[in-house]
């Protein structure tokens, strides 16, 4: 079969669309005829080589994708041939104290399909049944393939970790990104007053159309100063910051007393300077979050499937052009997700 691969870490020149061995279907695995996949910044970091990441090469990336079941292992009970499914990429052991407590993302052996083990950006993929969700008839493959990772991540960040309430204020940084545009919609759905940042007029218009009450171009104005002005120096209750080093101090500065900063990553750098006196004096909370529990995935995906939430798509490309798809992400072009389809699906 054909698959997106890389045999070493580096720039986009390491990406190939090549012939690889067909996947082996284990007893609890489902073989998927992949109809579409989608990229996340996680794919960029995996390609570059995250610190401590030890991959078996060649590596097939991809933590988002969807398709049709064509074969099932002997112990599969949840799916049958012909079912429509999408990947939910977080893998937990199911046995440690955190898994037993219903907090799978805290699992001591937690890992992510596409990051630590082979992913789904291929013509076929063998995935454990526990890492699949059903896709209703009528949901298009673009939506199915591009939704699960960012919407489950943003849902856990805002609904579980930050525990936002109606009437609270939420600032979403980078509202044009995958997690950002999902957080924007979820904050609006939860009844929050939503502030959003973007780098162009088009991105800000999209943000306003999808839940933002107030927007600012961070290229033209410091967003922390803008927040202080917009809120009468109060600040916001919650900041969603997955950008990291370049925004961290201003994110903390944007918070009201008792506010919460929630993060799931650092696309612009993982080691920011921080303002410890402001944190303790204003009694702020810094909350980390990763992926979601199975129940949280079910809750948020039901709202994607019924159209309440809408994944934005900035581009759709053949998998053979995945290097170009990485360029879209690294260049911050467009709004939302980049979808890739097996070349055989486009013939």
Contacts of 50 (CB under 8 A, 6+ apart): 115
The answer to which of 56-70, 244-258, 260-274 has the lowest mean pLDDT is 260-274
Looking at the chain, the whole-number percentage of residues with pLDDT higher than 90 is: 83
Q: For residue 106, what pLDDT is reported? A: 93
Q: For residue 192, what pLDDT is reported? A: 98
Q: For residue 259, what pLDDT is reported? A: 98
Q: For residue 243, what pLDDT is reported? A: 85
Q: For residue 199, what pLDDT is reported? A: 87
Q: For residue 303, what pLDDT is reported? A: 98
Looking at the chain, the whole-number percentage of residues with pLDDT higher than 70 is: 99
Residues 261-290 as b or e (16 or more Cβ within 10 Å = b): bbbbbbbbeeebeebeeeeeebebeeeebb
Q: For residue 177, what pLDDT is reported? A: 86
Q: For residue 322, what pLDDT is reported? A: 97
Is pTM beyond 0.85 here?
Answer: yes
| Domain ranges in the chain with CATH number 3.40.50.720 | 152-288
Q: Is 3.40.50.720 the CATH classification of the domain at 152-288? A: yes
CATH topology of domain 2-147+311-345: Quinone Oxidoreductase; Chain A, domain 1 (3.90.180)
Q: For residue 261, what pLDDT is reported? A: 97
Q: What is the mean pLDDT of the segment spanning 295-322?
A: 96
Q: Could you tell me which residue, 245 or 129, shows the higher pLDDT?
A: 129
Contact by Cβ (8 Å): 178, 40: yes
In the structure, what pLDDT confidence band is assigned to residue 309 with cuts at 50, 70 and 90? very high
Tokens 């898994």 belong to residue: 99
Whether the predicted pLDDT of 270 surpasses 80: no
| Domain ranges in the chain with CATH number 3.90.180.10 | 2-147+311-345
Q: For residue 294, what pLDDT is reported? A: 94
Whether the predicted pLDDT of 333 surpasses 80: no
């Amino acid at each position: 079969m054909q698959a997106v691969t890389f045999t070493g870490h580096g720039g986009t020149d390491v990406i190939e669309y090549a012939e690889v061995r067909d996947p082996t279907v284990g007893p609890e695995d489902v073989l998927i005829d992949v109809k579409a996949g989608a990229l996340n910044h996680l794919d960029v970091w995996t390609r570059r080589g995250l610190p401590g990441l030890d991959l078996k090469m060649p590596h097939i990336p991809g933590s988002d994708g969807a398709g049709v079941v064509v074969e099932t292992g002997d112990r599969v009970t949840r799916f049958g041939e012909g079912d429509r499914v999408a990947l939910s990429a977080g893998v937990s052991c199911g046995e440690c104290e955190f898994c037993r407590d219903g907090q799978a993302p805290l699992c001591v052996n937690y890992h992510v399909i596409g990051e630590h083990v082979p992913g789904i950006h291929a013509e076929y993929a063998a995935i454990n049944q526990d890492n699949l969700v059903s896709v209703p008839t009528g949901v298009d493959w673009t939506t199915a393939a591009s939704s699960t990772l960012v919407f489950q991540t943003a849902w856990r960040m805002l609904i579980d970790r930050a525990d936002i309430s109606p009437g609270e204020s939420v600032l979403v940084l980078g509202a044009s990104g995958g997690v950002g545009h999902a957080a924007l919609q979820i904050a609006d759905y939860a009844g929050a007053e939503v502030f959003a940042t973007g780098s162009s007029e088009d991105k800000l218009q999209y943000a306003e159309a999808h839940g933002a009450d107030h927007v600012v171009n961070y290229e033209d104005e410091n967003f922390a100063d803008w927040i202080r002005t917009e809120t009468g120096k109060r600040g916001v209750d919650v900041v969603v910051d997955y950008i990291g080093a370049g925004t961290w101090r201003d994110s903390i500065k944007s918070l009201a007393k008792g506010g919460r900063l929630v993060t799931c990553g650092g696309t612009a750098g993982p080691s920011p300077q921080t303002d410890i006196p402001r944190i303790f004096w204003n009694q702020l909370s810094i909350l980390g979050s990763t992926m979601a529990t199975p129940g949280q995935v079910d809750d948020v995906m039901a709202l994607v499937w019924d159209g309440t939430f809408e994944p934005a798509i900035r581009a759709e490309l053949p998998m053979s052009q995945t290097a170009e798809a990485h360029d879209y992400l690294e260049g911050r072009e467009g709004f939302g997700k980049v979808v890739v389809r097996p070349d055989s699906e486009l013939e």
